[in-house]
Amino acid sequence: MPMIRLKQGGRIVTLSSVSGIMGNRGQVNYSAAKAGLIGATKALALELAKRKITVNCVAPGLIETEMVTEEVKEHALKMIPLQRMGQVDEVAHTVNFLCSDHASYITRQVISVNGGLI
């Protein structure tokens, strides 16, 4: 990665899921993969901190996309304290913030965009 060789600092943001934090029935493989990504993010943050590279993870909850069926939406809304699904822009804004200078002292964190689900 050029930012590692140039030693000028930088930002890495990974995208996981609330499933990687809390698990999800019927999704053992997906939950395990997303949990593994969270662990890798935290380990990489320790390795790259000396190079002034921050590494963080965004873990979205239920986000309104064409992949979400009405049945899933109806069930999920009962569990989300804010009583709505997240929007793609809300996840994007979180990633944008973590890539900005405003987040220069934030590293090794998992930020969950989930409406209070967990």
Per-residue pLDDT tens digits for 43-65: 999 999 999 999 999 999 999 99
Of the listed 3, 22, 24, 30, which one is catalytic?
A: 30
Torsion angle of the four alpha carbons 79, 14, 41, 46, in this order, in degrees rounded to the nearest 10: -130
CA neighbor of 57 nearest in space, from 31, 82, 83, 39:
39
pLDDT tens profile 85-112: 999 999 999 999 999 999 999 999 999 9
Domain that holds residue 25: 2-113
pLDDT of residue 85: 96
In a domain, 59, yes or no: yes
In a domain, 36, yes or no: yes
Taking the C-alpha atoms of residue 49 and residue 21, their distance in angstroms, rounded to an integer, is 23
Taking the C-alpha atoms of residue 55 and residue 37, their distance in angstroms, rounded to an integer, is 12
Confidence check: pLDDT of 16 > 90: yes
Scan for tokens 């809304």, then name that residue: 77
pLDDT tens profile 60-87: 999 999 989 999 899 889 999 999 999 9
In a domain, 108, yes or no: yes
Q: Is 30 a catalytic residue?
A: yes
Determine whether 106 is exposed, middle or buried from the number of CB atoms within 10 Å of its CB (0-12, 13-18, 19+). middle
In a domain, 118, yes or no: no
Cβ proximity of 98 and 106 under 8 Å: yes
Q: What is the CATH number of the domain that holds 43?
A: 3.40.50.720
Provide the token pair at 28: 């053992």
